[in-house]
Structures are given as C-alpha cells and as structure tokens.
Amino acid sequence: MKKFITLAIATIFSLGAMAQQADLRKKITVTGNSEIEVTPDIIYVNISLKEYLENNNSKRKVDITKLENQLYAAVQKAGIAKENLTVNNLASYNYATEKKKNPDFLASKQYRLKVSDLNKFNSIIGAIDPKGISNTNIDGYDYSKLKELRKDMKIKALMDAKEKATYMVEALGNKLGGALDIQDLGNDNINQPVFRNYAMAKTEMADSGAAPELDFKKIKLTYNINVVFEIR
C-alpha cells in the first residue's frame, strides 16, 4: 500500500513538472527573404589553343608556340599578373612522340585565366589569332566581398521576417513578441551567369577582326530564414 501511495505521489509530481515545462505561448512562424544581384569580380576562364593548317591545300601549320606567345603578350599588356595564367590541360605533353608518328598531328593546350574585368579578357582574346582559339568557357566565378554580403543579406532576411510577422499579428489585434527560434535554411541560391561561348562568335570575329561580345549577366543571391516569434 505504501509503495502504491509513493508511486501515485511520484506520478502527480511528474505530471506537474511536465505541465510546467509545456510551452503554452502563442507563436507565429514566418520566412524572411532577401535577394540581391551582383556582378562577379573574380572570373576564371578556360582558353583552348590549337595548332591549325594555314589552308586546306597546305600542310604548313601555325605552331602552338606562336599562339602561346600571343596569349602571354596579351595578358601582360592587359596588366594581369602572370600567376593568374596557368596551364589547365596539356594535350600535347607527348608532342614530340606524336609528331614522329603522325606529321599531321595538331598540338593543343588549355589555359585557365583569372580576370576581374571582362573587358580585359575581351582584349586578350582579340589579340590572339582567332583560328588558333578552339574554345573558351567560364570555369568558375566568385565575388570578393561575398562574406560581408551574406552577413548583410541574412540581417535583411531577419528584418523581412519581423515585418511580415508584425503586420499579420497586429491584424489580429495582438502584438509581436521576441524571437523564440531562428533557423537559417542554408539555401544560398546563386544562379549561373551566362557567358557566350567563343565558338559561337568565332566566324564573326574572324570576319570583323574584333573580339566577340561577351554576354555575362549578374549573379543573383537569395537567402531564406525561418523565424518563430512569440505573440503577446
């Protein structure tokens, strides 16, 4: 009997503690958003050079070394540090061997160039023999102040959540309390910039002698944050 009474008392105290721990506050959950467009100021571009025959009736080729020298000179003239230009892929690593096996072998090299201004890239491409450029494409991009930008955007997303919660709560005759929970959804959405492939403008460039236009759009960043507010 004593054991039963002791168990009953313990159960009552346990239920009482659970009731005290239950969060009976009225709440509202909203999602705050922020969005911005920026132009990337760090761009990595692949440039593929390839030897070519001077004409269909001749086996004389424009050597890869000549094309490389044009690229190096153009990069230097654009004021870009030499360490920003690296060999990304060497398809002619066995050039001497291939040349012995096949006299018609055309060597090729792929470079990776880091630029902060697409106009400079445009001038570099324009200084290279267009027939020696087989392809260019965006390999990557970045924004130098992205860390500071993310911080600012998350604050704006929080303020957006507070504004939404405030007018919804006040519409019901209540007041908005403090934030009870903040959840960063982590969906840092960055859209892919559009870069017109050089091959699309290759003929145009060869005919006009000018560098192709680069269609590079801004990147859009979007942040979403869930916030739980108390309703008073």
Is residue 203's pLDDT more than 60?
Answer: no
Best CA proximity match to 32, nearest among 141, 166, 148, 199: 166
Judged by phi (left if over 0) then psi (alpha if -120 to 50, else beta), residue 100 lies in alpha
Is residue 48's pLDDT more than 90?
Answer: yes
Confidence class for position 193, pLDDT limits 50, 70, 90: low
Chain-centre distance for alpha carbon 194: 11
Is residue 161's pLDDT more than 90?
Answer: yes
Task: Using a cut of 0.85, tell me whether the model's pTM lies above it.
Answer: no
Q: What is the pLDDT of residue 196?
A: 47
Q: What is the pLDDT of residue 139?
A: 84
Q: What is the pLDDT of residue 215?
A: 47
Q: What is the pLDDT of residue 2?
A: 55
Written as six digits, the tokens of 206 are 């060869």
Across 43-57, 94-108, 126-140, 153-167, least confident range: 94-108
Higher-confidence residue: 218 or 50? 50
Contact 225, 183 (CB under 8 A): yes
Judged by phi (left if over 0) then psi (alpha if -120 to 50, else beta), residue 21 lies in alpha
Most confident of 35-39, 70-74, 187-191, 214-218: 70-74
CB atoms within 10 A of CB 153: 19
Strands 42-50 and 133-142: antiparallel
Q: What is the pLDDT of residue 120?
A: 87
Distances (CA, A) of 104 to 64, 95, 175: 13, 11, 81
Confidence class for position 143, pLDDT limits 50, 70, 90: confident
Written as six digits, the tokens of 106 are 């055309």
Is residue 171's pLDDT more than 70?
Answer: yes
CB atoms within 10 A of CB 229: 24
Written as six digits, the tokens of 138 are 């965006």
Q: What is the pLDDT of residue 220?
A: 83
